[in-house]
Amino acid sequence: MNSRTRDALALVALMASTALAALAVPSLHAAEPVPAAGASAAADDSAPSSASRGYLARESVREWIRETSAERGLDRHRVAGLFARLQPREDILAKIAAPAERTLTWREYRPIFLGDERAADGRAFLIEYAETFARATERFGVPAETIAAIIGVETFYGRYRGKDAVLESLATLAFDYPPRATFFASELAEFLVLAEAEGWNPLEIRGSYAGAMGLAQFISSSYRAYAIDFDDDGKVDLFDSPADAIGSVANYLVRHGWQRDEPVARRWEPAADARDAARALVRKRLEPVVAPETVAALGFDGADAAGDARLSVMTFAGSGGEEFWVGYTNFYAITRYNHSRLYALAVHQLAEALATES
Ligand SMILES: [Ca+2]
């Protein structure tokens, strides 16, 4: 679709909702004025069927707006006015279909996040915000390097925060991606509530294709539940306050089970005659379910560090062949941030690299 066609469709979609749009103020700040109803109508007389592409032409979307606005205390006319200005995004649907975590092996995934530049920038990030990291570690018990590694993997310490319009991405995924429609519809509602509470113009907020925002890439429900004001300026700002991002990452991990001074994961090299038995302990689910005694009996010497907690036995296709790893409770806590073992292992190894002199 060329941009002219897209613009025409957008306007037709807007006009299809004239009754709602004319009533609506698009956002709290109204940074962009709503075009007057009927503007440029002549240009669109030729393409009335395209109106079906607009969200407000769909009864299911209108019903969602009515119900969600009522449940969440939002002004439904204002919400409808926002939707009149959105378009389903084919590129977002293409991205969600093939996330790196599901298509790459460890051998392919690891170099993306463990290059020299990301480690060097991470050490500089730790130095620049040393006082903040020290406070976060003291209060939450999460090592500075782990917090920095998450921000490093998520956004290269804030360099890449995502350029997709969050509202449009979430609407696309909520209404045009059936496999996770329930989840994204929930995040869409959370985003509208968050934007209202924070005084954002929902149309201006940018993030990842899945609606993750700021240095720490919090989705809307996490932003509302776990983001904190850690520079004490009275605002929670994960977009422009590295201190708030650092404190929020630590808070998130603790709220998801992080244990102070406990290990994250250890490489394991089972003896040749124990490898099949070790492999048989690998589970698809991320939650640790293996008793420490079980891996101790197979020769793993880090089982004592688990205490009463369960462990995960994991295998990865590394550059040197199959790698065995044992994950502890803290490894699982990292997977609460992003539900992927590749992700958690990258965070763990980047954190170790940051803890080592270059
Ligand atoms: Ca703040």
Residue 63 one-letter amino acid: E
**Is the pLDDT at 8 greater than 80, yes or no?**
no
Report the percentage of the chain scoring pLDDT > 70: 85
pLDDT bin (cut points 50, 70, 90) of residue 99 is confident
> What number is the average pLDDT over the span 327-350?
97
Catalytic residue among 71, 138, 154, 352: 154
Edge-first strand listing for the sheet containing 265-268 = 265-268, 321-327, 312-318
Q: Which of 220, 191, 222, 208 is nearest to 95 (CA)?
A: 208
pLDDT digits (tens, 9 = 90+) for 272-309: 999 999 999 999 999 999 999 999 999 999 999 999 99
Q: What is the pLDDT of residue 357?
A: 74
Centre of ligand 1 to C-alpha 247, Å, is 10
Q: What is the pLDDT of residue 29?
A: 29
For residues 80 and 199, give the distance between their C-alpha atoms in angstroms, rounded to a whole number. Answer: 18
Q: What is the pLDDT of residue 21?
A: 28
Centre of ligand 1 to C-alpha 227, Å, is 10
Centre of ligand 1 to C-alpha 302, Å, is 40
Is the CB of residue 152 less than 8 Å from the CB of residue 118?
Answer: yes
Centre of ligand 1 to C-alpha 250, Å, is 15
Single pTM value for the model: 0.84
Token output for 63: 């019903």
> What number is the average pLDDT over the span 222-235?
98
Centre of ligand 1 to C-alpha 112, Å, is 31
Q: What is the pLDDT of residue 20?
A: 28
Between residues 30 and 358, the one the model is more confident about: 358
Concerning whether 154 is annotated as a catalytic residue, the answer is yes
For residues 251 and 139, give the distance between their C-alpha atoms in angstroms, rounded to a whole number. Answer: 9
**Is the pLDDT at 80 greater than 70, yes or no?**
yes
- Ranges in the chain annotated CATH 1.10.8.350: 3-34+52-87+164-206
Neighbours of ion ligand 1 (CB under 5 A): 229, 231, 233, 235, 241, 244
Is the CB of residue 259 less than 8 Å from the CB of residue 329?
Answer: yes
Centre of ligand 1 to C-alpha 237, Å, is 5
> What number is the average pLDDT over the span 331-343?
96
Report the percentage of the chain scoring pLDDT > 90: 82
> What number is the average pLDDT over the span 21-47?
32
- CATH fold of the domain at 3-34+52-87+164-206: Helicase, Ruva Protein; domain 3 (1.10.8)
> What number is the average pLDDT over the span 221-242?
97
Residue 64 one-letter amino acid: W
Lowest mean per-residue pLDDT among 22-26, 174-178, 280-284: 22-26
Centre of ligand 1 to C-alpha 29, Å, is 21
